[in-house]
Amino acid sequence: MTDTKDTAPARRVTLPTLRRMKRKGERISMITAYDATFARMLDEAGADILLVGDSLGMVVQGQDSTLPVTVDEVIYHCRAVARGTRRAHIVGDMPFMSWQLSPEQALTNAARFLSEGGAHAIKLEGGVDAAATITRIVRAGVPVMGHVGLTPQSVHAMGGFRVQGRTAAAAERVLEDARAVEQAGAYALVLEGIPNDLAARITSALSIPTIGIGAGPSCDGQVLVCYDLLGLTQDLKPRFVKRYAELYELGREAAARYCEEVRSGAFPEEAHGFGDVRREVPVLVEASGGYGPRA
Q: What is the CA radius of gyration of the chain?
A: 21
Which residue's beta carbon is nearest to the bound ligand KIV?
A: 53
Interacting residues with ligand KIV (CB under 6 A): 32, 51, 53-55, 93, 190, 192, 213, 223, 225
Distance CA 149, CA 199 (A): 9
Looking at the Cβ atoms of 35 and 93, the one nearer to ligand KIV is 93
In whole angstroms, how close is the CB of 65 to ligand KIV at the nearest point? 11
State CA 259 to chain mean position distance: 33
Distance CA 153, CA 164 (A): 14
Looking at the Cβ atoms of 216 and 294, the one nearer to ligand KIV is 216
DSSP letter, residue 86: S
Distance CA 97, CA 80 (A): 23
In Å, how far are 24, 177, 204, 239 from 198, measured between CA atoms? 22, 12, 10, 18
192 has catalytic annotation? yes
In whole angstroms, how close is the CB of 177 to ligand KIV at the nearest point? 15
In whole angstroms, how close is the CB of 192 to ligand KIV at the nearest point? 6
User: Nearest CA to 191 among 205, 42, 278, 291?
Assistant: 205
User: Nearest CA to 73 among 31, 35, 127, 125?
Assistant: 35
In whole angstroms, how close is the CB of 190 to ligand KIV at the nearest point? 5
Looking at the Cβ atoms of 55 and 203, the one nearer to ligand KIV is 55
Looking at the Cβ atoms of 238 and 293, the one nearer to ligand KIV is 238
Q: Choosing from 44, 125, 192, 280, which is the catalytic residue?
A: 192
Mind telling me the catalytic residues? 192
